Amino acid sequence: MPLCIVLMFSACASVPLGTMLRFSTFDEEDFAAIDPQQLSVRIFLADPQAIGEGPVFLNLLLETSGQPFIGNYQMAPSRSFRDEQSSGWFGPAVTGTTYQFELTPAQVLEFRRLQQEMLNTAVEHMTISVNFPPLTTDPEEARVWVFLALDDKRDYITLVDGARVQIDYDQE
């Protein structure tokens, strides 16, 4: 049983250009306008991988000229379903499972608290990450897609697009 899994992504190689452009203009007003009850994360894992038992977290780091604002929000599973993802322009579709997560009511309140703290602060840099528990098998490599919805009126934003993830198991 692995005690620690380290996922190593190759920098921005799996982050779509459209995602980088969309967030390049994202500011504190956009952040304040998010309805945390509509925030949603989807994680797609190619077969035969599956997410193991344990919490999923949405992590935010908002860097300002003063102190950074950090938010770590545990998400609750809302549904999972069989799905396919594109593996590129020339590759076949990849079959797997999509897992969807939402903020719990308590985490919605915490997110709103962070939004209030940020109202009069200029955000210089924002980092978004999603942490999820170990996979149900012990692969050396897996394919991962991660999506974020900021509201229920627009499509999911692709954060990670089919990254081949090298997994190292630390037996500390």
pTM for the model: 0.79
Asked whether the beta carbons of 164 and 153 are under 8 A apart, the reply is no
Please tell me the distance from the alpha carbon of residue 60 to that of residue 111, in angstroms, as a whole number.
10
Q: What is the pLDDT of residue 7?
A: 37
Task: List residues bridging with 98 in a β-sheet.
Answer: 44, 81
Write the pLDDT tens digit of every residue in 151-162: 888 788 888 888
120-143 burial code (b ≥16 CB/10 A, e <16): eeebeebebebebebbeeeeeebb
Please tell me the distance from the alpha carbon of residue 110 to that of residue 113, in angstroms, as a whole number.
5
Write the pLDDT tens digit of every residue in 84-116: 988 777 778 889 999 999 999 999 999 999 888
Write the pLDDT tens digit of every residue in 16-71: 555 555 555 566 777 788 899 999 999 999 888 888 888 999 998 888 888 888 88
Please tell me the distance from the alpha carbon of residue 52 to that of residue 137, in angstroms, as a whole number.
8
What is the four-CA torsion angle of 57, 157, 167, 51, rounded to 10 degrees? 60
Confidence category of residue 10, pLDDT binned at 50, 70, 90 = very low
86-103 burial code (b ≥16 CB/10 A, e <16): eeeeeeeebebbbbbbbb
